Amino acid sequence: MEQHNKNISIVVASDNHYAILIAALLKSIEVNHKTSEHIDFHIIDDGISAETKKKLNTVADPERVTLKWFASKDVIPADSSIPVDSSSFPLTAYLRVFSPYIVNQDTEKLIYLDVDTIVQDDISKLWNTSIGDYTIGAIQDVGKTVDCEWGGVPNYKELGLAADTKYFNSGVLLINVKKWRAENISSQVISALTEHKKHVRLADQYGMNVIMANKWFQLDPKWNWFAFKEDEKPYLVHFLDIKPIFKSYNSQEIYKQEFFRYLSMTPWKNFKQISGSYRNFRKIYNKVKKVFLK
């Protein structure tokens, strides 16, 4: 797909609690980006404090990276609403569904990244990966297939899907923006989440896998390497479980060290890990917030 706007477009979404993760992610991208493309780094802001924003704006060299801020309330279309589930996933998890609408009109593709990731290779390599005529490129999830008992798509049979239909993780996506908009994927995903609400697991990931089943390009797994897996020099590390900012972090130690190596190059260089009990409080907070939104 020919890209008229030559800048690399990246989109992330975060609340104030996890905004510190953006610092390490952004620095990891900048440090490992060796080619000449400028990076447009779009942040969907779900209540990030003015102080934190000020710090994040100093993380990367503005000659190489431009930060663009979008308030979450402005990202969700007026005629759309998030069908809130009962999980402890923050509401920001759903915002990626609308990411193709915040980039410039002439932007033909984007990379969506969860903020609990760090990039260990040049992001331009992912950017320049061809996904052919597919709308998205993604990586298979830990749950592998739609019949996964704890994740997946519980009602896959009634949707006419085979049990071994591959199931992707929505935390790293290479999106053909033009096709996504033309096919109205955002509305389709929201409709699927609303219609099959009682079957929804793992928030937006359910809806995306229902709509995109058998219609996504499989990227190299090293572009979404789960942090509990052995170190095989991945291109991108995804802290799926407990994030490295917590003392209760339980994934590979090498990745925690890498996270803090990048964080040490930012205004959070003296950050100390926080207690796991605070993490549990946030999970309860997310659930309660959703109950009030229902």
Indicate whether 291 pLDDT > 50: no
Asked if residue 1 belongs to a domain, the reply is no
For residue 28, tell me if it sits in a domain. yes
**Mean pLDDT on 23-44:** 97
Residue 183 lies in a domain: yes
The band of 279, judged by pLDDT with boundaries at 50, 70 and 90, is: low
Whole-angstrom distance, CA of residue 225 vs CA of residue 230? 9
- Distance, CA of 55 to CA of 280 (rounded, Å): 26
* Contact predicate 237/120, CB 8 Å: yes
Q: Give first-to-last CA distance, the chain, whole Å.
A: 40
Place of tokens 């609340």: 15
Look at residue 123 in the predicted model and tell me its pLDDT: 98
Write out the residue range of the structural domain in which residue 197 sits. Answer: 8-293
Q: What total number of domains does the chain contain?
A: 1
Hey, which of 19-23, 181-185, 276-280 has the most confident mean pLDDT?
A: 19-23
Q: Mean of the pLDDT values across residues 55-71? A: 96
Structural tokens at position 147: 């019949």
Statement: residue 21 has pLDDT above 80: yes
Q: Bin 33: left if φ > 0, else alpha if -120 < ψ < 50, else beta.
A: beta
Please indicate, yes or no, if residue 204 is contained in any of the structural domains: yes
Looking at residue 95, what is its pLDDT?
84
Half-sphere exposure of 168 (CA within 13 A, CB side): 26
Are 167 and 146 in contact, with CB atoms under 8 Å apart?
A: yes
| Range 129-157 average pLDDT | 89
Exposure string of 123-146, with b = 16+ CB inside 10 Å and e = fewer, is: bbbbbeeebeebbbbbbbbebebb
Classify residue 240: in a domain, yes or no: yes
State both tokens at 57: 């704006």
- Integer Cα distance of 292 and 35 in angstroms: 46
Residue 290 has pLDDT above 50, yes or no: no
pLDDT band at 28 (very low <50, low <70, confident <90, very high): very high
pLDDT band at 205 (very low <50, low <70, confident <90, very high): confident
Is 195 inside a domain boundary?
yes
Residue 209 above 50 pLDDT?
yes
Q: Which tokens in the block code for residue 45?
A: 């802001």
Torsions phi, psi for 110 (to 5 deg): -150, 160
User: Is there a domain that residue 2 lies in?
Assistant: no
Instruction: Please tell me the predicted confidence (pLDDT) of residue 198.
Output: 72
Domain holding 39: CATH number?
A: 3.90.550.10
> Contact at 8 Å (CB) between 186 and 171?
no
pLDDT at position 151? 79
Least confident range from 27-31, 93-97, 251-255: namely 93-97
What Cα–Cα distance (Å) separates residue 253 from each residue in 119, 172, 224, 247?
Answer: 16, 22, 17, 12
Neighbours of 149 (CB within 10 A): 8
pLDDT of residue 232: 82
Note the pLDDT of residue 69. Answer: 96
> Is the distance from CB of 17 to CB of 279 less than 8 angstroms?
no
Rounded Cα–Cα distance for residues 175 and 156 (Å): 24
Distances (CA, A) of 15 to 1, 81, 115, 231: 33, 18, 10, 29
Residue 3 lies in a domain: no
Confidence of residue 285 (pLDDT cuts 50, 70, 90): very low
CA distance linking residue 261 with residue 212, whole number of Å: 36
pLDDT band at 55 (very low <50, low <70, confident <90, very high): very high
